Amino acid sequence: MFKILNKKMLNPTVAQITVDAPLIAKKAQAGQFIILRSKADSERIPLTVAGYDREGGTITLIFQIVGAGTAELNSLEKDDEIHDCVGPLGEPTHTEGLRKVCVVGGGVGCAIALPVARKLHEQGAVVHSIIGFRTKDLVILENEFKAVSEETRIMTDDGSHGEKGLVTTALESLITAGNDYDEVIAIGPLIMMKFVCILTKKYNVKTIVSMNPIMVDGTGMCGGCRLTVGGETKFACVDGPDFDGHLVDFDEAISRSKMYADFEQHARDKACKLFSKEVQ
């Protein structure tokens, strides 16, 4: 059992929890994920590690309440216990040798992008961050990004905070302003990563994306998380979750991500009734 030591809401649908998990805290690196089950009969949910405290033996997880599984997780409060938590899984984000990087985060993906930006900053790289949200109320981690970035651009779809527009607008302006990035690291919705990659391909800037496909075990057994990368079948859980964005077949990944959309809609309606106090 893994005790929740702290919990706070970052915005109305995004929660941050600190979990007692000493073995995972000792090993976790930016870009890796864990799989948890809230209760004894819950689904296995993969979540990328948003932070860790090696001495304190804790990890931080940030999740959006999108489906029945995350609604159930959100029903747990401080001092409650998560039934199962395994990790760290996947390969860490490679940051060696990078001197100037643009980190692009979209929505709750910013929670995963932040530790990468922080790691790059700590190793002395120049970090530019672009974080995008639909609207002002959903903005998370703005100050945290500013603390580790030479330049931070905040984008909202409706212009209610920061600049109006998409992350690609800001990225293109930074690239055309003469910023010569070793890499762009983009983490967010599939559709955002797809368009970041279309843009960076045009400017020939290497781009790494973090994929979060449907998976069950997360240890290289079920094969549910398969992706086509450069024409080859790759498994996000053991080969990724980071891949060269210019090689990822995004349209296929987007289609596959909707495999259980109907099932989830149904489960969400049920869960909303069960956990309605949390998702108001």
Partner 1 sequence: MPDRNMSLTQTPMPTQDPNVRNKNFNEVALGYTKEMAINEAKRCLGCKHKPCVSQCPVQIDIPAFIQKVAQDDMEGAYAILSADTSLPAVCGRVCPQETQCEQMCVRKKKGDSVGIGRLERFVADWHREHSSELPQKPKSNGHKVAVVGAGPSGLTCAGDLAKLGYDTTIFEALHMAGGVLVYGIPEFRLPKAIVQTEIDNLKALGVKIETNVVIGKTLTIDELFAQGFEAVFIGSGAGLPNFMHIPGESLKGVYSANEYLTRINLMKAFDPASHTPIQKSKAVAVVGGGNVAMDAARCAKRMGAETVYIVYRRGRAELPARLEEVEHAEEEGIIFKLLNNPIEVLGNDDGWVTGLKCIEMELGEPDASGRRRPIAKPGSEFVLPVDTMIMAIGTSPNPLLHRTTKGLDTNKWGCLITRNDDGLTSRDHVYAGGDAVTGAATVILAMGAGKKAAAAIDKDIMGK
Binding site for partner 1 (CB under 8 A): 23-24, 27, 37, 41-44, 68-69, 72, 83-89, 216-217, 219-224, 226, 228, 233, 235, 238, 249, 252, 255-256, 258-260, 263-264, 267
Minimum distance from residue 272 beta carbon to partner 1 (Å): 14
Query: Could you identify the residue written with the tokens 């001197």?
Result: 99
Nearer to partner 1, 12 or 220 (CB): 220
Minimum distance from residue 186 beta carbon to partner 1 (Å): 22
Q: Is 179 exposed, middle or buried (0-12, 13-18, 19+ CB in 10 A)?
A: middle
Nearer to partner 1, 1 or 177 (CB): 1
For residue 156, what is the DSSP state? E
Minimum distance from residue 21 beta carbon to partner 1 (Å): 9
Minimum distance from residue 119 beta carbon to partner 1 (Å): 19
Pure H helices in the chain:
22-27, 68-74, 110-122, 142-148, 167-176, 190-202, 236-239, 250-257, 261-274
Nearer to partner 1, 134 or 258 (CB): 258
Beta-strand pair 2-11/84-89: unpaired
**Contacts of residue 18, Cβ cutoff 8 Å, sequence gap at least 6:** 4, 5, 6, 7, 58, 59, 60
Q: Output b/e per residue, 144-177; b: 16+ Cβ within 10 A.
A: bbeebbeebbbbbeeeebbeebbbbbbbbebbee
Backbone angles phi, psi at 121, to 5 degrees: -60, -45
Nearer to partner 1, 183 or 242 (CB): 242
Minimum distance from residue 120 beta carbon to partner 1 (Å): 23
Whether residue 39 contacts residue 1, with contact meaning beta carbons closer than 8 Å, is answered with: no
Minimum distance from residue 210 beta carbon to partner 1 (Å): 17
Minimum distance from residue 2 beta carbon to partner 1 (Å): 9
**Contacts of residue 76, Cβ cutoff 8 Å, sequence gap at least 6:** 4, 7, 17, 38, 82
Nearer to partner 1, 67 or 245 (CB): 67
Nearer to partner 1, 89 or 120 (CB): 89
Nearer to partner 1, 22 or 165 (CB): 22
